Amino acid sequence: MPTSPFRYVHRVTYAECTVGNHIYHSRYLDLLEAARGEFLRLVGQPVLGLQEAGFIFPAIEAHLHYRRPARYDDLLHIGVSLTVLQGVRLGVHHRVERADGLLLLEAETLHVCTGLNDRPRRMPVAFVDALRPWLRTVPPEA
């Protein structure tokens, strides 16, 4: 695996926050999706290209562990690494930290590779080859 996970940077917008000035819980899923999309673009496998080739990766599980709230104007660093890369399954670990390193959220999403007809299909070889260096073989730090 590369020496560190892929990092996506996001500044919290007012529209993402509740009246209590923290990100509404479900909005984190949007941030994780954006981070995964940029990660795939970085490794040369953009989502649009996969979709045009007939491959999509719907989420079949999502586990989010909220540790602390992110607030309006916080600069977030979202780390992305892979936990599963096998057959039709793609597992992604996400770690959301404030710019000062404070851990805010950890999440795991599990995706299945399907065709546009929603039937499972093996991931393309070039896709697997591009992602393999990012596959984590040790558990994340607590």
- Measured in whole angstroms, how far is the alpha carbon of residue 91 from the centre of its chain? 9
| 116 contacts 54 by C-beta, under 8 angstroms | yes
Question: Which domain range does residue 48 map to?
Answer: 6-134
Distances (CA, A) of 114 to 19, 119, 123: 39, 5, 8
Question: Residue 25: inside a domain, yes or no?
Answer: yes
CATH of the domain at 105: 3.10.129.10
Question: Residue 59: inside a domain, yes or no?
Answer: yes
Could you give the number of structural domains in the chain?
1
pLDDT digits (tens, 9 = 90+) for 7-28: 999 999 999 999 999 999 999 9
Round the average pLDDT of the chain to a whole number and report it: 94
Question: Residue 21: inside a domain, yes or no?
Answer: yes
Question: Residue 139: inside a domain, yes or no?
Answer: no
Question: Residue 140: inside a domain, yes or no?
Answer: no
Task: Give the pTM.
Answer: 0.91
3 DSSP 8-state letter: S
Question: Residue 89: inside a domain, yes or no?
Answer: yes
Question: Residue 142: inside a domain, yes or no?
Answer: no
